[in-house]
Structure 1
C-alpha cells in the first residue's frame, strides 16, 4: 500500500478557514496524512477526530513581535521533527509563519490566502504594504491556491507572482453533513411560525456590512409586516448593530445568535439568505445557502458574481445599496415561482462546482504534482 502524503497544515484564522479545513480533512483522509498546527481559536477536540494529529500554538492575529518569534521557533522545530512532504499555510498570518519557519529547510510549500488582504477595504497605504508583503513572500512557496477566479485575477493584476504559480481550487462544502443537519425549531428561537425569515450568516464586521443588512431590514419590515430578521454570528460591530436595530424599533423582529457550531441548522429556517459584503474572496456561506435551499441576495463584488449569477441562481445588488437589497427580498416574497427557479438552479450549481470531494481531489492532485 502506497504511503500517504504527509501534509502539515498551518492555520491561525478560524471561521471560514476552519470550516474549509474540516471539509478538506474529511474527504482527503484516505490518501493524505493531515497534521494541523493551529491557533488557540480552533476547536481542538473537533479537529482531533478528523486530523491525524493536532498541535495548538498560541498565535496572535495582529503583529506581536515577541509572540510571533516564539511561534516561528516552535513551528520550525515541528517541521524538522515531523518532516512533512508538504507544508500548507492557510490565510496571510499563517502564510507568513510557515514560510519564515521553513527558510533553509527546503520543504514544498503551498499557500492559500483565503482572500487577499490587499482587497480589503482599508487605506491605500495599507493596501500597498500588503501587496509588497505578498510579492516578496510569493518567492518562498511553490504554489499559491486561489479560492476563486476573482482571487486569481487580483493576483495577476497586482503582479503578485508568475501565472504558473497560481492554482484555482474553489471552496467546497460538506453536502453530506448539511443534508443530515436538523433545522432549528422556530419556536425555540422565539420566531413566529408564520414569519418570513430573512437571514445573514457571518461575522459582524466591516467586511460583512451588517449595518446595510439592518437598514434593508427596516425597509423590508415596512412592506412585509411578518418579516423576521436573523443574524447568525458575532463580532466587533455587535453593539453598533444592536443600537441600529433599537433605533429602527426592530427589536421584537430581530435575533442575533452570536457564534454557533451549526450555522446550517439556522439557514434551513430562512426564507432568504443575504451576504452584503463590501469585499469577498469567496463567500463560503453562499454555497451553504444553496445547499439549504435558501434563495440568495448578495452584493456584486469580487468573487461573489463567480458564484451567484444574477437572476439565475440568486440576485445581486450594488455594494451598500440597502434599498436595492430590500427590493430584491420583497420581490422574492411576492414571486414564489421565481424564488423556486433560483433555488433549483442553485442546487445544480453546487452539485457541479462546490462539493467538498472536489476540493479534496484537486488538492490531492496538487500535492502529487509538487511532491
Structure 2
C-alpha cells in the first residue's frame, strides 16, 4: 500500500477571498489515499476557525507571517516556517499570495522540501506602486523563482507576464483556474424576496451589487461613485456592498456625501454570497488589479450579468458584450453607463445572464482540485525518477 504524500499549503491570511476559499477547498478535497494535507497560515483571518475544523487537515498558524513589510517579523516568520517544515517533512510545499509565496518558498528550500509550487493569484507588484517598490517586489519574485519547481497561474495573462519579466519559461507554469462549485451554485434554491428583506432591500426595486474586501485594490469608492451616477438617472435602484475592511469609514462618509444613505446597504462579510447573487440585477466589480476575480465566476454561474474592470484575467471569463461588460479600471462614468443600459433593458440583462451560466469546465472548482492532484503526482514521479537515475 502506497503511503500518502504530505502536501503543505501556505497562505498569508485566511480572509474571505477567492484565493483563501479555494485553498481551503483544495486541502479538504485532496484524495486522502494519495495526499496528507497540511495548511499553514499567518496573521488572524475570518476563515481561521473554519480551517481548524476541516476534517483530516493539519492546521498551523504563524502569527509573525503578516502582509505588511516588517523585516524583524518577516525574519521570525521565515525561521518559524523553516523549523515547522523540517518537522513536518512534506513532499510538496504549495504557496499562495505574495508574502507567503516569498517566505514560504524560501523556508521550503531551507528545509530541503523536494517539490516547491507557487500559485500566482495576481502579482504583488502593480502599476499603482512607486517604481522602486515594484522593482523590489519583482527582484524578490525572481529570487524565489530560482527555488520553485513549478508555477500555477489562475489566468493566461498572469502566466504571460511571468514569462515576460523572466520569472519562468512558459513550460514551467500551468494555468489552473481559481474555480467555483458551478453545479451547487446553479442548483441553489433561493427565496429572493425573503433574502432581499433580510439584507434591508425592497423586493420590488432593482439591485446593483458588489462583493469584495474594502481595500484599495478593489477600489470600493469607485463603486459608490458609480452608484451615485446610476441613482441620478434611475433613482429607484438599490445598491448592496458585501464585504468589509480598512476603507469602510471612507465609504460610509462618501455614501452620506453623495446622498445615497437611503438606497445603499453595507452588508459586511457574508457567507451566503451565492444566495445574495440571486438577488442582484447587475454585478459590479471596480478592482484596479486581480489575477482572475472569483466573484466574476460566482456572478456568471448565478446568471447575473457583470459590469467590471478589465484587469488581468477578467477578459478570459467575461466576454465583453456577451455575458457582461468590461471597462478600464477607474472608468466610473463608463461603468455607470453600462449598468444603466442593463437596468433599462431587462431582456438584454437576462440574455447576458443566461450566456454567463455556460462556464467552461476549467472554471469548476472540482476540476481545479483534479488538476492540482495530477500536477502533484507528475512532479513527485519525476523526483522519484531522477533519484533512481542518480543511483544507477
Given the two structures, how large is their TM-score scaled by the length of structure 2? 0.89
Question: Is this contact kept in 1: 2:27–2:39, CA < 8 A?
Answer: no
Partners of 2:163 and 2:137 lie apart in 1 by: 15
Deviation per CA, 1:230-256, whole angstroms, max 9, x where unpaired?
A: 011112222221111111101000011
Paired residue for 2:5? 5
CA distance in 1, matches of 2:252, 2:24: 32
Q: Tell me which of 327, 347, 354 is aligned to 1:337.
A: 347
Deviation at 1:26, TM superposition (A): 4.0
Aligned twin of 1:323? 333
Contact 2:160–2:170 (CA<8 Å) still a contact in 1?
no
1:44 paired residue number: 48
What's 2:387 paired with? none
Give the conservation status (yes or no) of the 8 Å contact 2:219–2:287. Answer: yes
Counterpart CA distance in 1 for 2:179 and 2:167 is 25
Partner Cα distance (2:337, 2:56) in 1: 45
Pick one of 359, 364, 376 that aligns with 1:355.
Answer: 364
| Matches for 1:195-344 after TM superposition, within 5 Å | 195-344=205-354
Say if 1:204 and 1:42 are closer, same or farther in 2 by CA, change over 3 A. closer
After TM superposition, the structure 1 = structure 2 runs for residues 58-69 of structure 1, keeping only pairs within 5 Å, are 58=63, 59-69=65-75
Higher relative contact order (CA 8 A, sep 6+): 1
**How much has 1:177 moved relative to structure 2?**
4.6
3-state SS, counterpart of residue 69 of structure 2? coil
Question: Conserved in 2, the CA contact under 8 Å of 1:231 and 1:257?
Answer: yes
- Residue-pair matches, total: 370
> Displacement, 1:13?
3.0
Q: Which digits, 9 at most, give the CA deviation of each residue in 1:301-333, with x for residues without a partner? A: 221111111011211122211211111111111
Q: How does 1:118-197 map to 2 (within 5 A)?
A: 118-119=125-126, 121-178=128-185, 179-180=187-188, 182=190, 185-197=195-207
Instruction: Find 1:364's aligned residue among 360, 365, 373.
Output: 373
Equivalent-residue separation in structure 1 for 2:223 and 2:47 (angstroms)? 29
Measure, in 1, the Cα distance between the counterparts of 2:163 and 2:78: 29
What is the root-mean-square deviation in Å for CA atoms of aligned residues? Answer: 1.9
Kept after mapping to 2: 8 A contact 1:274/1:298:
yes
Structure 1 gap ranges (5+): none
Whole-angstrom distance in 2 between the partners of 1:77 and 1:181: 47
Q: 2: CA distance between counterparts of 1:24 and 1:102? A: 20
Shifted more, 168-177 versus 53-62: the winner is 168-177
Change (3 A) 1:19 1:177: farther
- Does the CA-based 8 Å contact 1:23-1:172 persist in structure 2? no
Give 1:228 deviation, angstroms. Answer: 0.3
CA shift at 1:166, angstroms?
1.4
| Residue ranges of structure 2 left out of the alignment (5+ in a row) | 381-392
Q: From the superposition, tell whether residues 87 and 248 of structure 1 become closer, same or farther in structure 2 (CA, over 3 Å).
A: same
Distance 2:294 2:54 in 1: 23
Residue of structure 2 equivalent to 1:17: 19
Secondary structure in 1 matching 2:322:
coil
Do structure 1's residue 70 and structure 2's residue 73 form an aligned pair? no
- Contact persistence 2:176–2:368 (CA under 8 A): yes
Q: For residues 126-151 of structure 1, what are the alpha-carbon distances to aligned partners after superposition, in whole Å with 9 as ceiling and x for unaligned?
A: 11111111111100110111110010
1:54 aligns with 2:23: no
| TM-score calculated relative to the size of structure 1 | 0.94
Distance between the aligned counterparts of 2:39 and 2:338, measured in 1? Answer: 42
Q: CA deviation at 1:37?
A: 0.8
